[in-house]
Chains A and B, each alone.
Chain A
Amino acid sequence: MHTISQVLGDDHQRCDSLFAEAETAVAQGDWLTGESAFNAFHDALEHHFRMEEEVMFPEYEARTGQTMGPTRVMRMEHGQMRQLKEDMATAITARDRDRYLGLSETLLIVMQQHNAKEEQMLYPMADRALQDSMEQVLSQMDAV
């Protein structure tokens, strides 16, 4: 049976790969590849956030009664990453290589710290809390 750790953890990997692809292309000055890889990364990350914010976090909060705990911090960090992501989109449009690379390095560190917290703590906790409704939660996330 699949778990939240597997599904969302694998999705982190997918986002990371797209991120690296975009960053490499921009660093090499290949704006065409860079832009399409960035757009793919942008959408993948947004999709990932929505799977969590629209399905997984509310289910977890309803089950544990914790709304001010880890999910609140995760939502705040999503906000930080969204802002960096939008700034990167502007830098792509402006073909501003230095600004893009500065922003992408910043996003990388925030994103990796965030992922580590989720993969090491929140997802395993959610796997336990949502054990008996796992199929349903996963199919709801799949539909986002």
Chain B
Amino acid sequence: MLFPGNLSLDQAPPISVPFRFLLSAPLFGVLAGLLLALQGPALLAGRWTPGVLAFTHLITLGLVTQAMCGALLQMLPVLAGTRVLGAVAVGRVTHLLLGGGTLALAIGFLADGGPWSLAAAALLGSAFLVFVTALGWGLARAGSANPTVVAMRLAVIALAVTATLGVGLALFWGGIPGLLFLRSLTDVHLAWGLLGWVGLLVLGVAYQALPMFQLTPEYPLRLRRHLTTALFALLLLWSVLYRLAAAERIPSALPVSAAATAGAALLLFAAFTVRLQKRRRRPLPDAGLAWWRLGLAGLAIAVTLWLAGRVWPGFAAHPAYPLWLGGSYLLGFAVPILNGMMIKIVPFLAWFHLQNRQLALGRVEVSVPNLRELLPERTTRWQLRIYVAGLGLLALAPLWPALASRPAGLALAASWGLLGFGLGRAARRYRRVNRQLLAPAAGEIPAA
């Protein structure tokens, strides 16, 4: 039997691969927050303002996708027992293209299309082509198809669908004629991005991360085996039904019921997660757990809002409705879960690489800082408080834009700035201790 490679330390990519993604992710959040603070009420005037589109993509591509790409490149060897061919080159190229493409796209929205949108389409298209190909190759070769690997595969397929539609839309926005039909697929793009790429990956990673970090019991095997596949199938079904209903060939109740089933599946996940966390064997309150709680509440609110909108069409027609719905899923659910993950993964990787180097070199006299010395709990707690304040203000902003929108933007920017500061400090500490480990020990004659 082939032993999966994940027991070999050299399978883990160099720390620079995940770090470049995880450290730049908060910067895009800061940009998004500042954009909201700058534009204020104008940004939140509706679902389709250039400001909302720029803000949303700075979050989804800049903050969320950056963090998820970095984490996937890091976790693939550990969770899937496989590796990404040329992980260093793939990481470097994806990071540059994704970052540049995200900025170009945001500028494109604000500058009303034109060459910026075309550049964004080219940059983001190439970024995802490289990333999906490299990840797909690694995932196809994964030795064991455990539920997390299955979820990762489906999430990467969903990313490919989202990116294809997104590149098409950016080309349309950039003035390429003949792509008008893509506008009617905007909701499909959005659903595959939010439910597929983000949702499936969160579920798959939760199956591993919760028992590991919070000492909860395992998710039931049947849930782990079937939930992500069911969500993916529902997404596929919904997309087809949605198109048919848009063409008035079937009643619109059909896509709505497919989406409602997907919503119920997400609620089931949230309910099981809360139940498992209640039974965790590690009662210690912890910032990671607090971010998870916030994220699960955000998910429950998002699904409830969506259902309420179907039951009361008048509510769904309110201008604030799409902002609340999108905001609760993206900023209430996806971002907090990723934030909780980033504050664990960055200090752990720093410790892990330092400790391995220390063992390999036998430099026991250099002390390796532990997780909380690398990223103090105090920093993450303050970051969470400021974030919750920002979310509260943002929820009020569609109703009282003049009063709440700018402070909401400032609070969110401050929270992500603090995240970036904390992660950056951990990375600087890593570099300092790494230099100490590599420096010749006192009294030792360096080898020629």
Contact = CB atoms under 8 A, between A and B. Distances in A.
Specify whether A and B are partners. Answer: yes
Interface of A: 16-17, 20, 23-24, 27, 69-70, 73-74, 76, 79-80, 83-84, 87, 98-99, 101-103, 105-106, 108-110, 112-113, 116-117, 120-122, 125
Contacts, number: 76
A105 B371 contact: yes
Nearest to B143: A121
B78 A113 contact: yes
A126 B224 CA distance: 26
Contact of B7 (A23, A101, A117): A117
Contacts of B351: 106
Chain A interface secondary structure, helix, strand, loop or mixed?
Answer: helix
Report which residue of B78, B211, B282, B351 has the largest number of chain A beta carbons within 10 angstroms of its beta carbon: B282
A79 B358 CA distance: 12
B372 A105 contact: yes
Interface of B: 1, 3-4, 6-9, 78, 144, 146, 208, 211-213, 215, 281-284, 286, 344, 348, 351-352, 355, 359, 370-373, 377
Given A20-B215, A73-B7, A109 B284 contact: no
16 contacts: A20-B215, A20-B282, A24-B282, A24-B283, A74-B7, A76-B9, A80-B359, A84-B370, A99-B370, A106-B351, A106-B371, A108-B213, A109-B371, A112-B213, A112-B215, A116-B208
Given A80-B359, A98-B372, A105-B372, A125 B283 contact: no
Contacts of B78: 113
Contacts of A116: 208, 212
A16 B281 contact: yes
Nearest to B283: A24
Contacts of B371: 102, 105-106, 109
Given A113-B78, A113-B212, A125-B1, A105 B370 contact: yes
A23 B352 CA distance: 21
B215 A121 contact: no
Contacts of B286: 105
A122 to B, nearest CB: 8
Given A23-B282, A109-B344, A125-B1, A73 B9 contact: yes
A101 B372 contact: yes
A117 B78 CA distance: 9
Nearest to A70: B7
Contacts of A120: 144, 146
Contacts of A27: 284
Contacts of A102: 370-373
A129 B8 CA distance: 21
B214 to A, nearest CB: 9
A142 B208 CA distance: 31
A141 B373 CA distance: 38
A87 B355 CA distance: 13
Contacts of A103: 370
B213 A76 contact: no
Report which residue of A74, A105, A112, A121 has the largest number of chain B beta carbons within 10 angstroms of its beta carbon: A105
A109 B372 CA distance: 13
A142 B86 CA distance: 46
B430 to A, nearest CB: 14
Given A69-B3, A70-B3, A121-B7, A109 B282 contact: no
Given A74-B7, A103-B370, 7 more contacts: A20-B282, A23-B282, A24-B282, A101-B377, A105-B372, A109-B212, A117-B7
